[in-house]
Amino acid sequence: MYEAHFGLREPPFGITPDTSFAYACNSHQEALNTLLVAARNGEGFMKVTGEVGTGKTLLCRRFLRALDPGRFVSAYIPNPYLDPQTLMFALAEELGVKLDRQADHHHLLRELNHALLDFARAGKTVVACMDEAQAMPQETLEALRLLTNLETEKRKLLQVVLFGQPELDDRLAQESIRQLRQRITFQYRLSVLGASEVEQYLAHRLRVAGYRGSRLFLPAAVRQLHRASRGVPRLVNIIAHKSLLLAFGEGVQQVQAQHVRSAAADTPAAAPAPRRWWLAAAAGILLAAGATLAYLQ
């Protein structure tokens, strides 16, 4: 690999949500601050949406790490495509609560409610984060709403954060789950990286990976990378990684625009390269000239 060639301790552009590489862009920092304020205020439901690759899982992990362990107990459900009963068992396992596997739905709900009350008596607030929430079955969403019904005079006993793709909004817009939609008190929509943020994002990840040299991605390469990735962090990582491989293969110390173009051409999700208008115009002129000469002859 290219780590030694560029003076890196580790690959800087992995696509796994590693919090040590987290870059506090405006969108992510605003979303994190919103979640922390909402959690401290004891809100019931919160929602964060974003397109594929915008860093929802990374934000979720940052949020969970930022919660005060002396005040909060957290549960993380990475794949909530579960039936209501399985969701209860998953939540209980995350919270360290033992439930009777033979109990029916009513008794499972009661046991979990008792556990939430015990946490409240101990001065703890329970926060459950549901990743990929757009995949949750409707009956499971309803079961989750019923779990949040339990509250004291001061606050909710269970707070839920839904992380999902924009399709989650379509799910919540259904009339049949309007009660849950009305309970969402805080929401945030993650945006992609701007052109200047892409440059800062690259520099940040390279610095975390141990790079201490001069500019590694030339300005033209950064512009090309922003265009090809459309500012989606996951695509930035994929294309940047391939670009470094190409530069390493040529034995050069800087990533140039042609490296990024080649890397983007090998990435199906990247934005297609724009056609150069002047080439099209030149081709049209040549065709017209050829047709005129043929006519005159």
**Residue 31, pLDDT above cutoff 80:** yes
CB atoms within 10 A of CB 207: 12
Residues 195-224: tens digit of each pLDDT: 999 999 999 999 999 999 999 999 999 999
DSSP per residue over 165-226, as a string?
-THHHHHHTSGGGHHHHHHEEEEEE-----HHHHHHHHHHHHHHTT--SS-SB-HHHHHHHH
CATH placement of domain 193-297: 1.10.8.60
Average pLDDT in the chain:
89
The 3-state DSSP class for residue 139 equals helix
pLDDT-based confidence at residue 278 (cuts at 50, 70, 90): very low
Average pLDDT score over residue span 76-85: 92
Tokens of 98: 């033992």
Nearest CA to 71 out of 22, 9, 138, 120 is that of 120
- The domain ranges of the chain are 26-189, 193-297
Nearest CA to 164 out of 198, 193, 187 is that of 187
* pLDDT at residue 51, as a whole number: 95
Tokens of 62: 């940052």
Residues 66-78: tens digit of each pLDDT: 999 999 999 999 9
Fold of the domain spanning 26-189: Rossmann fold (3.40.50)
